Amino acid sequence: MTLITLIRHGETDWNLEGRIQGSTDIPLNDTGRAQARAAAARLAGASFDHTYASPLGRARETAEIIAHELGLPAPLITVGMREHEFGEAEGLLWDQYRERFGARRDEVPGAETAQQLTERALASLARIDLAARRRSAPRVESVLVCTHGGVIRALLEHASGGTLPAPGERLGNASEHRFAMDGGGLRLLDTATV
């Protein structure tokens, strides 16, 4: 079994504007960097064996800040934890998105479907779990993964059977969500929004 703490990246200017980032590589702003340091302070009592991050700069920098503050090695990049690809919706404000596409998230040209996102994220976590079990068996390994709101939302929906997050609930920047994974099965342990 592997204990997995997912952290949403810190704030970006596009978050502040209410703009869809998706796979567009938008950097953290100063508030986002402060949120990453605050997340590290909250996590200071926990012990992590490894840190992973999405390849997108906002998640990677969040992971780097947390790893530095906690005295952990540099994060390993895991491509499967990158944000939901929104296709033609990337760069739009959420109001523009709703006006243009309504609730048809899976019909946006060039966008990844919700199912594709969930499968990709689960496969990435399964690879992390397998590597952890190979390194540490029979000891349980604890890893930190810095990723994105869409990825965390998909994993919460999967692990909770669709009951979480609540409709309209926003996952805060630098929020923490704890899971356990054992041979491919994902189980939600705790979720905390910031």
How far apart (Å, rounded) are the C-alpha atoms in residues 87 and 72?
35
Token pair belonging to 153: 């939302």
- Cα distances (Å, whole numbers) of residue 1 to 19, 56, 115, 119, 132: 37, 27, 25, 20, 8
Which entry of 9, 50, 84, 177 is annotated as an active-site residue? 9
Q: Determine phi and psi for 95, rounding to 5 degrees.
A: -65, -40
Does the annotation count 83 as an active-site position? yes
As a dihedral over the C-alpha atoms of residue 59, residue 62, residue 65, residue 69, rounded to 10 degrees, the angle is -120
Of 84, 100, 78, 109, whose CA–CA distance to 20 is shortest?
84
Does the annotation count 107 as an active-site position? no
Beta strands 141-147 and 50-53, pairing class: parallel
Which entry of 64, 83, 85, 176 is annotated as an active-site residue? 83
Q: What angle do CA 171, 49, 144 make, to 5 degrees?
A: 10
The catalytic site residues sit at: 9, 83
